[in-house]
Amino acid sequence: MSAHTTSPHSPGTALVTGATAGIGLAFARRLAGRGHDLVLVARDADRLASVADDLRAEHGVEVEVLVADLVEPDQLATVEARLADPDRPVELLVNNAGFGLKKRFLDNPADAEQAMLTVLVTAVLRLCHAALGPMTQRGSGGVINVSSVAAFLPRGTYGAAKAWVNSFSEWAAHEYRGRGVRVMALCPGFTKTEFHERMQVTRGEGLMWLDVDFLVEKALADFDRGRVYSIPGAQYKAIVGLTRLVPNRALQLAQSLGRK
């Protein structure tokens, strides 16, 4: 872990969970490019160290690493403590870490379902709780919660967890806006990362598959505009628009899309 000093010209420190791959890594790169000092969180210590070295060398920003498995309460608590540290304020929290399960609900052990819910919901709740207190006291800060287009569709427990992220983020955005804090839910569609490989499902190509740098560029532009939701890609804006028109029963038909 490196010593941390924020220069008066820095946009502040950003903490990104799941920063070693995919969307989180793209956020870390883009935020470092904007001059944010970083706190990077993930489980793989070697990969974290390598990403941190690259970002320091490329962008000249301060980078701390926190090795933490967000499933484990004591490790999650170290990330909460970092966010709540009054001497080292975090200006932007990106709750991004996550994974999906290949099998359907009853084919997974309940413990695997519980672990997914812990990372997708409990960690988001606890890290937002730790960050929003100091942010509202300072009257500045922001949170980007990485949700999913799946939140708008009947997609099993993954979609249900992401629906919680949307509902919570929308509420928090309105609750804390008047206190100088922005909260946004980012809802990616299929995005080319390690997510599907880790889930052991085939990653596709073509129109429905978003480039991760495109996704993060659009997300940060939406965040800068003060949007409550960011849904990058015209195809996914259209799908989410349709979900508001199509009866829920018909939406159930879409539930097996993207699964092989």
Ligand X SMILES: NC(=O)c1ccc[n+]([C@@H]2O[C@H](COP(=O)([O-])OP(=O)(O)OC[C@H]3O[C@@H](n4cnc5c(N)ncnc54)[C@H](OP(=O)(O)O)[C@@H]3O)[C@@H](O)[C@H]2O)c1
Tell me which residues are annotated as active site: 158
Tell me whether residue 6 or residue 157 sits nearer to ligand X (CB atom).
157
d(Cα 26, Cα 37) in Å, to the nearest integer?
15
- Indicate whether 153 belongs to the interface with ligand X (CB under 6 A): no
Tokens of 22: 């995919």
156 binds ligand X (CB under 6 A): no
Determine if 69 is a binding residue for ligand X (CB under 6 A): yes
Instruction: Please say whether the beta carbons of 194 and 22 come within 8 A.
Output: yes
In the beta sheet, which residues pair with residue 185?
145, 229
CA 217 → CA 23, 57, 80, 164, 240, distances in Å? Answer: 11, 22, 27, 24, 20
Distance CA 55, CA 93 (A): 18
Report, in Å, the least distance between residue 72 CB and ligand X.
8
Among 89, 98, 156, 159, binds ligand X (CB under 6 A): 98
Q: Which two tokens stand for residue 247?
A: 């009866």
Work out which of 43, 103, 227, 237 binds ligand X, going by CB under 6 A: 43
- Residues 221-260, one symbol each (x = binds ligand X by CB under 6 A, - = not), give ----------------------------------------
- Decide: 146 and 135 in contact? Cβ < 8 Å: no
Q: Which stretch binds ligand X (CB under 6 A): 57-65, 92-100, 104-112, 176-184?
A: 92-100
Write out the residues near ligand X by the rule CB under 6 A. 17-24, 42-44, 47, 69-71, 96-99, 119, 146, 148, 188, 190-191, 193-195, 198
